[in-house]
Structures are given as C-alpha cells and as structure tokens.
Amino acid sequence: MSLIVKWLLSAIAVMITAYLLPGVSVASFWAALVVAVILALFNAVLKPILVILTIPITILTFGLFLLVINAIIILMTDALIAGFAVSNFWWAIAFSLIMAVLGSLFNDIAERV
C-alpha cells in the first residue's frame, strides 16, 4: 500500500476518532491529513527514542507506559497544529487507543482489496 493511501486512511481515522470523542476536535479533513502526517513522522523519529529512554519504566508497568508515550506524542501534535485539539491527557490516551484499532482495521481492509 502506498504511503499516500496510508496517510489518507489515517486522516479518515483521525476524523472518525474526533467524531467519537468529545474531547478531541479536528477543524477539517486537511487538518486531519496534517495530523496523520505529523503523527507518522513523530512515530517514526521520536517514538523509538522515547521507548529506548523509558525501557525500565516500561518493563515495570508491563508495557503500559507505551500508552503514556503515545499520549505525549498526540499532545505534541496538538501543540503544533492549529486545527487539531485534544482537551487533556486522558482524551489523548483514548484517541491513541481508538486510532490503533481503526488503523488496524483500515490496514486489514486495504490489504484485502
């Protein structure tokens, strides 16, 4: 699947997640597309560094600290993009969980087509 299709599907997932969660808002599809691109870049560059730095606490929490890392990345994206807003840390965790489920579903559907 091409990179552009992945970003478009991720933008659709962002729009659906923002619709489902009252603590998350996206101004437009273009803002959702920018969110998808920025999240992809942060997950490719910043997340591995944070995971390595937090290995001890991740082991102590049986991997649950990875949810905190995802929430931090989402809140950083919120700070960068004007058309995207997440109310607080807990909405960022919920956003992360729903995005993971939708991303998995979209990826599975796209591979079957």
pLDDT in tens, 29-52: 999 999 999 999 999 999 999 999
Sequence-distant (≥ 6) Cβ neighbours of residue 33 within 8 angstroms: 7, 8, 11
Q: Does residue 59 carry a pLDDT above 80?
A: yes
pLDDT in tens, 60-73: 999 999 999 999 99
Its sign, for the CA torsion 104, 18, 35, 57, is: negative
Amino acid letter, residue 36: A
Q: What is the DSSP letter of 85?
A: E
Which pLDDT belongs to residue 3? Answer: 83
**Do residues 83 and 38 touch, judged by C-beta distance below 8 A?**
no
Give CA–CA dist 56/65, Å, rounded. 10
Q: State the pTM of this model.
A: 0.91
